[in-house]
Structure 1
Amino acid sequence: MLGVHFAITADQERLLLAADDEDGAGIGEILEDIEENWDDDLLSVSTDKAWDAMHRCLSDGTLDPDGGEYPLSYAVLGGRHLHEEYYVVYLTAAEVRDVAEALSRVDEAWLRQRFNAMDDVDYGGAHDDEGFEYVWGNFVDVRAFYERAAKAGRPVIFTAT
């Protein structure tokens, strides 16, 4: 699954939060519209498949959305889940500010220590220096994205489909 963060507008936020259907079709349609019509590269960031390791490093080492401690655990999978079949995770603008501040304190040595501590059996990605560089590069992009989203006062959704 490929991951993308979007710093959505207030109108998009209202639409997503108002879409309340049992099968997730309404959320899916809104998300599809957001993805197809997105035109602001500064307020989105793709993490390819690095989101998996990134969440593990920033939480409790698992993909559990409730694992780890706020606000770091909210950078990828923490937050309000809007769909049952795939990840559409919503953060309020206030949560985005908290995440941005917490991410600003994460350095390469800390993230490497967390990456090295991940369970090889549970994590299916590359668990070597090249794998870490891939995750670190994506992390740096996500950290900058959260800074921009916080400055813009925007809520964020993370999607992995």
Structure 2
Amino acid sequence: MLGVHFAITAEQEKLLLDADGDDDAVSEILGDLEEEWPDDDLKVDTDKAWDAIHRCLTDGTLDPDAGDPPLSLAVAGGRHLHDEMYVVHVTAAEVREVAAALLDIDEAWLRERFGDFGDDYDGAADEQDFQYTWSNLADLRDFYQRAAAAGRAVIFTAT
């Protein structure tokens, strides 16, 4: 699954939250959002690295309820809006908290947590995988700074 974070407008947020509980409606809104998204700084692709990033920011598992906010909210720990795929909502207030917490994350911190993921991790958990994860986390950290500055909520999707 490929991960993408979008810093959404208040109008987009309302549409998605109003559709919560209706997977078809959420999927349609998400499809429109992805198709019409302007190519700007309020979107970041984390490709397959989102999995390792979430594990490092929580307890080493992919459990969306693992770890402690605000770091657990950075990828898969927010409000889930779809039953069959990741469509995870983080409020604008939470985005500010995540952005501040991510500023404390450096390469050494990530390295301490990287690789102890258990049997359900599909990545290699080697140095190349670490560098890939670190690069994507750095991009995600910068994205959260921009989303917080814009006062936006965030939607994470993995499809």
Which TM-score band (shorter chain)?
over 0.9
Instruction: Choose the corresponding residue for 1:132, options 130, 138, 148.
Output: 130
Q: Is the 8 A contact 2:20 2:82 kept in 1?
A: no
Superposed CA RMSD in Å reads: 1.0
Superposed displacement of residue 87, structure 1: 0.2
Task: Give the 3-state SS of the residue equivalent to 2:45 in structure 1.
Answer: strand
1:15/1:131 CA distance change after superposition, 3 Å: same
Q: Structure 2 counterpart of 1:90, which letter?
A: H
Task: Give the 3-state SS of the residue equivalent to 2:68 in structure 1.
Answer: coil
Task: Give the 3-state SS of the residue equivalent to 1:89 in structure 2.
Answer: strand
Q: Which runs of 5+ in 1 are unaligned?
A: none
Measure the CA separation in 2 of the matches of 1:116 and 1:10: 37
Task: Give the 3-state SS of the residue equivalent to 1:136 in structure 2.
Answer: helix
Matched with 1:46 is 45
TM-score, with structure 2 as normaliser: 0.97
Please list, as runs of the form range in 1=range in 2, the aligned pairs for 1:5-154 lying within 5 A after superposition.
Answer: 5-22=5-22, 24-119=23-118, 121-154=119-152
What number of residue pairs does the alignment pair up?
Answer: 159
Task: Give the 3-state SS of the residue equivalent to 1:67 in structure 2.
Answer: coil
Superposed displacement of residue 30, structure 1: 0.4
Measure the CA separation in 1 of the matches of 2:157 and 2:112: 26
Which portions of structure 1, spanning 4 or more consecutive aligned residues, are displaced by more than 6 angstroms?
none
Measure the CA separation in 1 of the matches of 2:45 and 2:105: 19
Q: Quote the sequence identity (%).
A: 66
TM-score, with structure 1 as normaliser: 0.96
Q: Which runs of 5+ in 2 are unaligned?
A: none
Task: Give the 3-state SS of the residue equivalent to 2:27 in structure 1.
Answer: helix
Deviations 1:1-21 (CA, angstroms, capped at 9, x unpaired): 000000000110010011145
Superposed displacement of residue 116, structure 1: 3.3
